[in-house]
Amino acid sequence: MNVKCSLCGRRAVIRIGYAGVHLCEEHFSSYFERRFLEATRLLRMFERGERVAVAVSGGKDSLTLLYLMSKHADALGVEVVAVLVDEGIRGYREEKARAAEAYAKRWGVELVVKSFREELGFTLDEAVSALMEDGLRYKPCTVCGVFRRYLLNRAALELGADKLATAHNLDDEAQAFLMNALQANLPSIAREGPRSERVHEKLVPRVKPFYFIPEKEVLTYALLHGIESPPVECPYIVYSLRHPLRRWLNEVAERDPGVKHRVIALKNALAPLLDRGGPFRSCRVCGMPSSGEVCKACQLRQYIERILASR
């Protein structure tokens, strides 16, 4: 790109379409970090003295969040630990996990790994082969998402974390909103904001510092700061509705750069009007938060165990 920074005239590295400016490496980095810090402050994501568990997958978004959280830990007054869930996806997860381990070590952050195999008794690969035997009544991403959220929360609890920070960005949130809308999943739209409250003593509140930041900016920041991730893709992405929605939304955004922001604005206007579901009680099986008598993770686990046992 041979365009100049709108602020200083040096070579621009990114165009911020919705703001109508081009920025150089230095001005973009400080703009990005300011947006990150502003979001954490304006939405009161952290309080001084808190312990924050950062969910890392080994992808660029979560590594960037871990980098910024460790870089600004003192300014935010928090202690940072990292948690990674190993779902057991051959050819994918082990490579991403290696990257996460290397960066956590470099930035001096403790990394705790929870695996499906140890915590649930089966890997996601095994779970998916069981799901296929029963006609794929649940999609791999649905099952994976339920268990991943469950284990991230449990890891955060065990670490005594006050908050669980995830790297979901504006694109992720816009896609999730459209998926929930297409599935008429109103409680999820109501619940998935930039921060959640402690609605159950065993539910660690979640915060999303990149909630208002487009994916393109996160990836550009990662590139400029030498944050790399192995270029492997989850093999189950083909089963997900997110995949085509992501492509479609990006196509629309090419012509209309503000569209993702407006999707999020619509979601944030709608969310308070919708029923959040619940109330939260404790799962009869595992004691963790649940909207029904048995939590979704225990239900799915029992379902998969039954198929695996019948082989």
How far apart CA 239 and CA 111 sit, in angstroms, is 30
Going by C-beta distance under 8 Å and a sequence separation of 6 or more, which residues neighbour residue 128? 140, 143, 236
Task: State the residue for tokens 């082990």.
Answer: 94
Site string for Zn ion, 224-263 (x = CB under 5 A): ----------------------------------------
Q: How far is the CB of 167 from Zn ion (least distance, A)?
A: 26
Q: How far is the CB of 14 from Zn ion (least distance, A)?
A: 11
Q: How far is the CB of 297 from Zn ion (least distance, A)?
A: 5
Applying CB under 5 A, the span of 173-181, 252-260, 265-273, 297-305 interacting with Zn ion comes to: 297-305
**Enclosing H/E stretch for 16:** strand 12-16
Mode of pairing for the β-strands spanning 206-207 and 163-165: parallel
List the one residue from 13, 16, 24, 85 that touches Zn ion (CB under 5 A). Answer: 24
154 scored as a contact of Zn ion (CB under 5 A): no
5 scored as a contact of Zn ion (CB under 5 A): yes
Sign of the dihedral defined by the CA atoms of residues 55, 58, 64, 68, in that order: positive
Applying CB under 5 A, the span of 4-12, 99-107, 138-146, 186-194 interacting with Zn ion comes to: 4-12
Residue 31 and residue 13 in contact, taking contact as beta carbons nearer than 8 Å? no
List the one residue from 283, 300, 301, 304 that touches Zn ion (CB under 5 A). Answer: 283
53 scored as a contact of Zn ion (CB under 5 A): no
Half-sphere exposure of 286 (CA within 13 A, CB side): 19
Percent of the chain as helix, strand, coil, to the nearest 5? 50, 15, 35
List the one residue from 112, 286, 307, 308 that touches Zn ion (CB under 5 A). Answer: 286
Q: Which is nearer to Zn ion, 9 or 49 (CB)?
A: 9
Q: Which is nearer to Zn ion, 10 or 41 (CB)?
A: 10
What distances in angstroms separate CA 230 from CA 92, 128, 227, one per listed residue?
9, 23, 10
Binding interface with Zn ion (CB under 5 A): 5, 7-8, 24, 27, 283, 285-286, 295, 298
